[in-house]
Amino acid sequence: MTSDTRTDTERSRTDGELAEQAVVPMPLVHGELPRWAPWAILVASLVVVGGILAATGNFGLGLTLVLGAVLYAVATYAVSRFVEGGRKATDRVVTIVVTVAFLIALIPLISVVVTVIQNGLARFDAAFFTNSMRGVVGEGGGGYHAIMGTLIITALAALMSIPIGILTAVYLVEYGKGRLARAITFFVDVMTGIPSIVAGLFAFAFFALFAGPGIRFGFGGAVALSILMIPVVVRSTEEMLKIVPNELREAAYALGTPKWRTILKVVIPTSIAGIASGVTLAIARVIGETAPLLIIAGLTTGVNLNPFSGRMTTLPVFAYNSYAAPGVPREPFIDRAWTSALVLIIIVLVLNLLARLVAKLFAPKTR
Amino acid sequence: MSAPTTTPATATPSTKPVRQLGDRIFAGSATGAGVLILIVLAGVAVFLIAQAIPAFTASPEELPGGRNLAVYIGPLVFGTLLSALIALLIATPLAVAVALFITHYAPRRLAQGLGYVVDLLAAVPSIVYGLWGVAVLAPASLPFMTRLQDYLGWIPLFAGPVSATGRTMLVVGVTLAVMILPIITAVSREVFLQTPKLHEEAALALGATRWEMIRMAVLPFGRSGIISGAMLGLGRALGETMAVAIILSGSGIVTFNLISSSNPSSIAANIALQFPDSTGVAVNTLIASGLVLFVITLLVNSIARWIINRRREFSGAN
Amino acid sequence: MSKAVTAKNLNIYYGSFLAVEGVDMEIKPKTVTALIGPSGCGKSTFLRSINRMHEVIPGARVEGKLELDGRDLYGSGVDPVGVRRQIGMVFQRPNPFPTMSIYENVIAGQRLNNKRAGKKATDELVERSLRGANLWNEVKDRLDKPGSSLSGGQQQRLCIARAIAVQPDVLLMDEPCSALDPISTLAIEDLINELKTDYTIVIVTHNMQQAARVSDFTGFFNIEGTGKPGHLVEMDETKTIFSQPKQKATEDYVSGRFG
């Protein structure tokens, strides 16, 4: 805004003020709270709230923190508005709200991790990893059969999902045009939304047709998990293939390379890091599935390494069943449930770290 | 070179599709994989419907509960929607705040670590959250629920009497919220990070404070991302089985009382609890309820996609 | 090994959209032909149709004839993959394969087509191609480093080495210097002058000084307006185009009065 377009009100306002402000109409230095002020307000708010609560006999740590935070926000707004103006005050309050929300969200998440580690460590011993539950009624026993079941079923699911998923993504990105591609994209989206228990019901409905309603076996679980895993693999691979620059494809075509070799030797190697880490995350996602396996893979106390015959326990089902239907005495069952949960978290953690490592190792080098 | 040589065959009769054998095999197997997905999904629909039909045709006396199918499934649908809704209402604002904190407020060095942690928590199996809900949250929230009844008992939601075990609809909702919080956060964080630096700097250059910059540049850009994250979380909460199954012992009632000891179960939890001991028409009934759940999640996803597609034109997020 | 390219009444379509109309052009062996014209006039589309690269976009097709030493490039039974082995291309932005080393990038044409050759023959090919691209002295000590570790100008010369390693008859260049600094541009222009002793070169450029510096012949493309097809206005020896063009439009364009 140049000076000649100023309105009368603005002019009269500056006229009324000091002469030097007419020279510098927009001061660069505003009133500003000193750096210690927010901390002082925070401490004061907590002390005031704590004091009032203690005086009325209602003192509690949680309540003090919650009400203290509210008072802190209100007081900050008031002080900041007085010293710094309304916009700055709003900014400060939002900062407080966001930070407090973050801290609140942190509480249950930390609590989950701490609880699992605390309760899980009780049975995190060699026996848990080497013994099954066959013939165990109280103490002892372990999750060996469940760990093996989880590994076998997840491996089978991965074996089915990864080739199908990656090939479908290749089709969608490199070949897919027209109605078929749109249909596949749409139905992959639909598949992403299938609740896991419905996937289990499907596997059951499918195999029960051939083997009768009593059917329970590991491979069925793998099929159910594949239905959950394939869309995740397709989506992540698709994203990765899409970010391979077209220029690389063109460079390969211009060298007289057929399309399929271009895909196999240029496109996929360029994006292999992302694909591999996406696949690893997909595995991490299905390895903790409980519901479908409860339905189609069933539950057993002994080790069963044959996925095509007989019930097969997996870790999440084992954890669930140990907790929901404990024997007498209860404690050893509960302990085993927590240890299973801990092992599951560790597996997921390792897979996540693996995904990052893979992404780093396979990424195209630039130096 | 598939598409270009096939379409213009009429215009240039001399050009026939020339494709190497390798190309044909590779394109064929890629297409085959895509078609296989369609077949599998069709199979899911066909088998579920086929197995659900006996429940629709059976006489009411044969069904579990001895009443008709709608009476059996109705309360389950209600319980499913109620628990998921509570979770969504709690988790979405928190998740947006956490994502904002990580992307725009936390010190940069801390931010990346927090991002990893959120991604990791999003991958924690739901059974773990279920165990935590029943073992930690339920007893811990007893005093809180008692106060709710004391002070807010006049609201039907908190009419009580408070369940002695703490295994209530409210606890289920909070547990589900904790479970989907990392998921919504992860998606929102991703979108917030993609806000074009130019937009942010443009806002700052106009003299905006941090919050004004977020309101002008980050939130409008990320809105569709937040919605799709929330819908993803809602879908997860609707289909969540174990956390609900392990916390609630549901009965077929419909009530908005969130803190009493009689609660409606959810579809997924009911299937998991009843399935192992069911035979005959009872199995068909459970499959029918699974079909209903599938339709509900499908609707939620479609709505989410519709919102995102409608917003895309305005957000510039493409 | 250098060959002539002839276009006869060539129309290029994207779906039903006519992008380039009625091009008649004679490109002689061992010459440099520059294609100039405003943005969107179809010169790049025409260039890409010479080795059928425009077919990467679905729905793209041509009418008319395009011949390489009298052989129809769009005849029935002609594999576009085979066409591209004889007509190489260098792109606007350098695009070395990020997963391959400098050495592997040069022999990418063979590697991708699974042709095996002896270690000695391959080493010779790499050295010959890199020398041909004036890059050998700069990279001979770090052939195992990734191609993306080079500077932009070096990367572009690596791409040229990659293109000539498959020993094409014709080399197409689509604004090869537009992403480079002036010094790298000069290096590429020198290289083009040397390459024309062995190859037929067609180069699209927005830079008229560059066209004047490097080319023997120049074709001027123009477009009537948005949505209209581009067409070849005039083609002649570069000297003639820049000093006494026959068409008013050409004169306006080369003298900067293009409106």
The residue type of C100 is M
**Per-residue confidence (pLDDT) for residue B285, from 0 to 100:** 86
Higher pLDDT among residues A66 and A317, named by residue? A317
Q: Looking at chain B, which subunits does it touch, using at least 3 CB pairs closer than 8 Å as the criterion?
A: A, C
8 Å CB contact between C100 and C146: yes
pLDDT in tens, C21-30: 989 999 999 9
Domain residue spans in chain B?
Answer: 58-313
114-133 of A, contacting C, C-beta below 8 A: none
Tell me how crowded residue C214 is: count the other CB atoms within 10 A of its CB.
23
C-alpha C106/C-alpha C110 separation (Å) is 9
**Per-residue confidence (pLDDT) for residue B66, from 0 to 100:** 64
- With CA atoms as reference, the chain A residue closest to B45 would be A202
- With CA atoms as reference, the chain C residue closest to A363 would be C99
Give the residue among A202, A207, B285, A318 at the shortest CA–CA distance from B267. B285
Whether the CB of A30 is below 8 Å from some CB of chain C: the reply is no
Sign, Cα dihedral of B124, B130, B131, B135? positive
C-alpha B231/C-alpha B311 separation (Å) is 15
For residues A168-194, average pLDDT = 87
Best of B151, B234, B242 to disrupt the A interface by mutation (most A CBs within 10 Å)? B242
Question: Across A20-24, A212-216, A304-308, C39-43, which has the greatest mean pLDDT?
Answer: C39-43
**Per-residue confidence (pLDDT) for residue B90, from 0 to 100:** 92
Confidence of residue A366 (pLDDT cuts 50, 70, 90): low
Tell me the nearest-neighbour CA distance from A264 into chain C, angstroms: 9
Burial of residue C222, with CB atoms counted within 10 A of its CB: 0-12 exposed, 13-18 middle, 19 or more buried = buried
Give A170's contacts in chain B (Cβ within 8 Å): 30
**Per-residue confidence (pLDDT) for residue B279, from 0 to 100:** 77
- With CA atoms as reference, the chain B residue closest to C15 would be B8
C-alpha A298/C-alpha A215 separation (Å) is 9
Whether the CB of B11 is below 8 Å from some CB of chain C: the reply is yes
Confidence of residue A61 (pLDDT cuts 50, 70, 90): confident
Structure tokens, B1: 């070179």
Query: What single DSSP character describes residue C101?
Result: B
C-alpha B69/C-alpha B288 separation (Å) is 9
Give A364's contacts in chain C (Cβ within 8 Å): 98-99, 146, 148
Least trusted range by pLDDT, from A55-59, A66-70, A101-105, C76-80: A55-59
Best of A198, A314, A323 to disrupt the B interface by mutation (most B CBs within 10 Å)? A198
8 Å CB contact between B247 and B210: no
Q: Which are the contacts of B103, defined by CB distance < 8 A and separation ≥ 6?
A: B111, B189, B192, B193, B218
**Per-residue confidence (pLDDT) for residue A156, from 0 to 100:** 92
Give A192's contacts in chain B (Cβ within 8 Å): 301
The residue type of B267 is I
% of residues, chain A, pLDDT over 90: 11
13-42 of B, contacting C, C-beta below 8 A: 14-16, 18-20
- CB-closest option in C112, C114, C146 to A255: C112
pLDDT in tens, C144-162: 998 888 998 899 999 999 9
- CB-closest option in C59, C79, C81 to B4: C59
Q: Which are the contacts of C239, defined by CB distance < 8 A and separation ≥ 6?
A: none
Whether the CB of C112 is below 8 Å from some CB of chain A: the reply is yes
C-alpha B143/C-alpha C15 separation (Å) is 70
- CB-closest option in C13, C60, C79 to B18: C79
- CB-closest option in C53, C58, C95 to A248: C95
Give how far Cα B135 sits from Cα of A112, A113, C98, C221, Å.
10, 13, 52, 77
pLDDT in tens, A229-266: 999 999 889 888 988 888 899 999 988 888 888 998 89
Cβ of B11 and C77 within 8 Å? no
Confidence of residue C36 (pLDDT cuts 50, 70, 90): very high
- With CA atoms as reference, the chain B residue closest to A341 would be B128
**Per-residue confidence (pLDDT) for residue A2, from 0 to 100:** 42
For residues A327-338, average pLDDT = 83
**Sole residue written with tokens 């292999």:** A272
Does residue A276 have a pLDDT over 90?
no
CATH 1.10.3720.10 for domain A129-361, yes or no, is: yes
For residues A206-212, average pLDDT = 81
8 Å CB contact between B267 and B76: yes
Give the residue among A230, A229, A222 at the shortest CA–CA distance from A152. A222
Q: At what angle do helices C152-165 and A246-254 cross, to 10 degrees?
A: 30
Give A269's contacts in chain C (Cβ within 8 Å): 99
8 Å CB contact between C211 and C218: yes
Cβ of A249 and C56 within 8 Å? yes
165-224 of B, contacting A, C-beta below 8 A: 174, 178, 181-182, 185, 209-212, 214
Instruction: Categorise residue A114: left if φ over 0, alpha if ψ from -120 to 50, beta otherwise.
Output: alpha
Best of B141, B211, B281, B289 to disrupt the A interface by mutation (most A CBs within 10 Å)? B211
Residues forming a β-bridge with C27? C5
Give the residue among B242, B261, B219, B281 at the shortest CA–CA distance from B53. B281
Cis before A329? omega within 30? yes
Does residue A21 have a pLDDT over 70?
no
C-alpha A4/C-alpha A19 separation (Å) is 18
**Per-residue confidence (pLDDT) for residue B97, from 0 to 100:** 92
User: 3-state secondary structure string, chain A?
Assistant: CCHHHCCHHHHHHHHHCCHHHHHCCCCCCCCCCCCCHHHHHHHHHHHHHHHHHHHHCCCCHHHHHHHHHHHHHHHHHHHHHHHHCHHHHHHHHHHHHHHHHHHHHHHHHHHHHHHHHHHHHHHCCHHHHHCCCCCCCCCCCCCHHHHHHHHHHHHHHHHHHHHHHHHHHHHHHHHCCHHHHHHHHHHHHHHHCCCHHHHHHHHHHHHHHHHCCCCCCHHHHHHHHHHHHHHHHHHHHHHHHHCCCHHHHHHHHHCCCCHHHHHHHHHHHHHHHHHHHHHHHHHHHHHCCCHHHHHHCCCCCCCCCCCCCCCCCCHHHHHHHHHHCCCCCCHHHHHHHHHHHHHHHHHHHHHHHHHHHHHHHHCCCCC
**Per-residue confidence (pLDDT) for residue A132, from 0 to 100:** 77
Q: Which CATH class is domain B58-313?
A: mainly alpha
The whole-chain average pLDDT of chain A stands at 82
**Per-residue confidence (pLDDT) for residue B8, from 0 to 100:** 39
Give how far Cα B193 sits from Cα of A50, A92, A363, B103, C142, Å.
39, 22, 21, 6, 37
8 Å CB contact between C166 and C85: yes
**Per-residue confidence (pLDDT) for residue C258, from 0 to 100:** 58
pLDDT in tens, C192-220: 998 888 899 999 998 888 999 999 999 99
Domain residue spans in chain A?
Answer: 29-122, 129-361
Does residue A133 have a pLDDT over 70?
yes
% of residues, chain A, pLDDT over 70: 90
Whether the CB of A179 is below 8 Å from some CB of chain C: the reply is no
Tell me how crowded residue A88 is: count the other CB atoms within 10 A of its CB.
18
Give B3's contacts in chain C (Cβ within 8 Å): 58-59
Best of A260, A262, A296, A353 to disrupt the B interface by mutation (most B CBs within 10 Å)? A260
Does residue A19 have a pLDDT over 90?
no
Structure tokens, B83: 């628990």
Burial of residue A349, with CB atoms counted within 10 A of its CB: 0-12 exposed, 13-18 middle, 19 or more buried = middle
Whether the CB of C58 is below 8 Å from some CB of chain A: the reply is yes
Give the residue among A347, A303, A343, A301 at the shortest CA–CA distance from A325. A301
Please state the ipTM of this predicted complex.
0.84
Tell me how crowded residue A44 is: count the other CB atoms within 10 A of its CB.
14
Max CA distance (Å), chain A: 96
Cβ of A253 and C84 within 8 Å? yes
Least trusted range by pLDDT, from A40-44, A296-300, C185-189: A296-300
H or E, element range at C72: strand C71-72
**Per-residue confidence (pLDDT) for residue B189, from 0 to 100:** 87
Residues forming a β-bridge with C20? C12, C230
Regions of chain B where pLDDT drops below 70: 1-19, 61-67, 310-318
- With CA atoms as reference, the chain C residue closest to A178 would be C58
**Per-residue confidence (pLDDT) for residue A247, from 0 to 100:** 87
Cβ of A252 and C85 within 8 Å? no
Burial of residue C8, with CB atoms counted within 10 A of its CB: 0-12 exposed, 13-18 middle, 19 or more buried = middle
**Coil, helix or strand for C38?**
coil
